[in-house]
């Protein structure tokens, strides 16, 4: 299974989701490949936001070696599933899809809801981590059953 997590800048939400799903999958012995990207390109090559690194580290997960990358259309061919953090990311990614098969790989990380962007509010990093963690456990369980 190859999974891509997508948010706006690829420095807060998607690196957390990337790190959490990767950690949980490894913990369960799943041979999954997890990565992340952003629909915006201004952070390409940068490490995750220090606040995201800190909240992950405080919860036993190291995301410090991740580097931001810009979502590219060829990612549709590389990944089995593409999870996006909010509706704007969903629109931006779907706009790059060229087929129904590509569009079917894309969904909101939280069905019918969004992961709040903590970038402008330090106090959101802990609750966003918890939200992503809970949903990651659900996603892994659902994927293992299918």
Mean pLDDT over 130-142 rounds to 97
pLDDT tens profile 83-115: 999 999 999 999 999 999 999 999 999 999 999
Residue whose entry in the numeric block shows the structure tokens 């990651």: 136
Domain that residue 82 falls in: 2-139
C-alpha torsion 88→146→32→5, nearest 10: 10
* Catalytic (active-site) positions: 7, 13, 117
In this predicted structure, what is the pLDDT of residue 37?
98
Q: Domain total for the chain?
A: 1
pLDDT above 90 (res 146)? no
Q: Is residue 144 part of a domain?
A: no
Q: Is residue 146 part of a domain?
A: no
Q: Is residue 39 part of a domain?
A: yes
Q: Is residue 85 part of a domain?
A: yes
Q: In this structure, are residues 6 and 36 in contact, taking their beta carbons and an 8 Å threshold? A: yes
In eight-state DSSP terms, residue 20 is H
pLDDT above 90 (res 120)? yes
Q: Is residue 53 part of a domain?
A: yes
In this predicted structure, what is the pLDDT of residue 118?
98
What's this model's pTM, rounded to 2 decimal places? Answer: 0.97
Strands (DSSP E) found in the chain: 2-7, 33-38, 81-84, 106-108
Q: In this structure, are residues 21 and 79 in contact, taking their beta carbons and an 8 Å threshold? A: no
In this predicted structure, what is the pLDDT of residue 142?
95
Q: Is residue 118 part of a domain?
A: yes
Mean pLDDT over 21-35 rounds to 97
Assign residue 75 the CATH number of its domain: 3.40.50.2300
**Which residues are 34's β-sheet partners?**
3
pLDDT tens profile 38-74: 999 999 999 999 999 999 999 999 999 999 999 999 9
Mean pLDDT over 120-146 rounds to 96
In this predicted structure, what is the pLDDT of residue 65?
98
């Amino acid at each position: 299974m190859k999974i891509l997590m997508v948010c706006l800048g690829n420095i807060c939400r998607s690196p957390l989701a990337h790190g959490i799903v990767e950690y949980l999958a490894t913990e369960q012995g799943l041979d999954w490949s997890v990565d992340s990207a952003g629909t915006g390109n201004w952070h390409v090559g940068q490490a995750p936001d220090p606040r995201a690194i800190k909240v992950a580290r405080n919860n036993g997960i190291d995301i410090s070696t991740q580097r931001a990358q810009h979502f590219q259309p060829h990612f549709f061919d590389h990944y089995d599933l593409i999870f996006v953090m909010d509706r704007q990311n969903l629109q931006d990614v779907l706009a790059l899809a060229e087929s129904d098969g590509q569009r079917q790989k894309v969904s909101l990380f939280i069905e019918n809801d969004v992961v709040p962007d903590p970038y402008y509010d330090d106090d959101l990093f802990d609750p966003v981590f918890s939200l992503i963690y809970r949903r990651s456990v659900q996603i892994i369980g659902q994927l293992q059953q299918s």
